[in-house]
Structure 1
Amino acid sequence: MSDGNGTMGLNEHLSERPVYETELVPHRSLGRKGFRILFAITGILSLVHVIFFLTVGAWPIMLFFGLDFVLLYGAFWLNYRAARAREQIRLSRLDLTIRKIAPNGLVREARYNPFWTKLKIARHPEIGITSMRVAGQGRETPLGDFLYPEAREQLASDLTRALATVKQRI
């Protein structure tokens, strides 16, 4: 609603400010530099073995070393591609928005009224949180499937606290 001259009133502007905002990204322990070093060493070792087996006349084995290298590179390529996934969570007094960005760039967005929203958490006694879902208005959206257990615990704690804060400010 505007105040007559086309601008939002102060109360409306304050209610749209985020109470909680975060971006979830998958954890990868091997960075770009480590990746280059790993593949340089693997490539050199494979090349040495290929040359050795080629000189002793066992040329079919050469194909297996090449295939191993290509498969290893393909596995890392798929892993790094999957790491481009993102989840953005933004909670204000009026809206809870969850944006899921797939590795291919496809964006899916779910919006909830925070007053009717509940965070559903599934726990395993030994592992901790195994899954989280935001539920409300007859639908559910999973959260943080790619996170490690400690990060799921932190997200659950932070989001639960933020939802409670929003619900208290009626």
Structure 2
Amino acid sequence: MSERVTDAPMFEAVIVPHRSLSRRGLAGLIVAVAVASGLTALLFFLLGAWPVAGFSGAEILLAVILIRAHARVARESEVVLLSERRLRVIHTDRKGGRREMALDPSWLRAELQERPGRVPALLLVGGRRRHEIAARLGEAEKRDLAAALAEALHAWRNPRFDNPQLREPDFPESLP
């Protein structure tokens, strides 16, 4: 018999930044900021403080730039796939560019590196190599992912085989 190793995922995690608003919601937010700032500028203009209108226009422009930058970052994603052969990390940046990293899970471990006053870093450590994953997740999500990934790596290294010949026979209690 030939042993065939599949590349089917045993563990899969899709990591995306928190997306608080849809495209329509972002457009609504930009309009709301522009209207509120425009009304404030109009009020100051009518009161004779016309230079405030220029600063208000700059404020609207800055708000639009920051909101759009936030929306671009939300396009990033990361996929962690553990198969029978390897652990793959596929990172897609905000422009759609993909980077893939394949690691041997034999000696790999998921480690949380505590950083005072900051969210801990989730690292994949294998020998001397250290790779940070899930950089955009919050602390609770990182801890959950680290625990699930550590469990999956443990299951990968310690497979459980089901041999039907070793099972207890299922006899009926009374024979006819």
Is TM more than 0.5 here?
yes
The structure number with the bigger radius of gyration is 2
Q: TM bucket by the smaller chain? A: 0.7 to 0.9
TM-score of the two chains, using structure 2 as the length reference: 0.79
- For 2:164, the equivalent position in structure 1 comes to none
15, 19, 34: which is aligned to 2:10? 19
Aligned CA-pair RMSD: 2.4
- Does structure 2 retain, via aligned residues, the 8 Å contact 1:93–1:114? no
Partner residue, 2:153: 163
Question: Where does the alignment leave 5 or more consecutive residues of structure 2 unmatched?
Answer: 161-176
TM-superposed CA distance for 1:57, in Å, is 3.5
CA offset at residue 125 of structure 1?
Answer: 8.3
Tell me, what secondary structure is at the counterpart of 1:80?
helix
Q: Work out which of the residue numbers 58, 68, 76 in structure 1 matches 2:49.
A: 58
For the structure 1 residues 124 and 50, does the alpha-carbon distance in structure 2 shift closer, same or farther, using more than 3 Å as the test?
closer
For the residues of structure 2 that align with 1:52 and 1:126, how far apart are their CA atoms?
Answer: 42
In 2 relative to 1, CA 125–54 (structure 1 residues): closer, same or farther, beyond 3 Å? closer
> What is the alpha-carbon distance in structure 1 between the residues aligned to residue 49 and residue 117 of structure 2?
50
Aligned to 1:6: none
Aligned counterpart, 2:39: 48
Percent of aligned pairs sharing the same letter: 26
Do 2:5 and 2:84's aligned partners in 1 also have CA atoms closer than 8 Å? Answer: no
Task: Decide whether the 8 Å contact of 1:112 with 1:137 is kept in 2.
Answer: no
Residue of structure 1 aligned with 2:95, choices 104, 124, 135: 104
Q: Any conservation in 2 of the 1:110–1:141 contact (CA below 8 Å)?
A: no
1:1-170 alignment runs, 5 A limit: 11-13=4-6, 16-123=7-114, 130-136=120-126, 138-169=128-159
Count of aligned positions:
160
Paired residue secondary structure (1:89): strand
Counterparts of 1:133 and 1:126 in 2: how far apart (Å)? 18
Q: Any gaps of 5 or more consecutive residues in structure 1?
A: 4-8
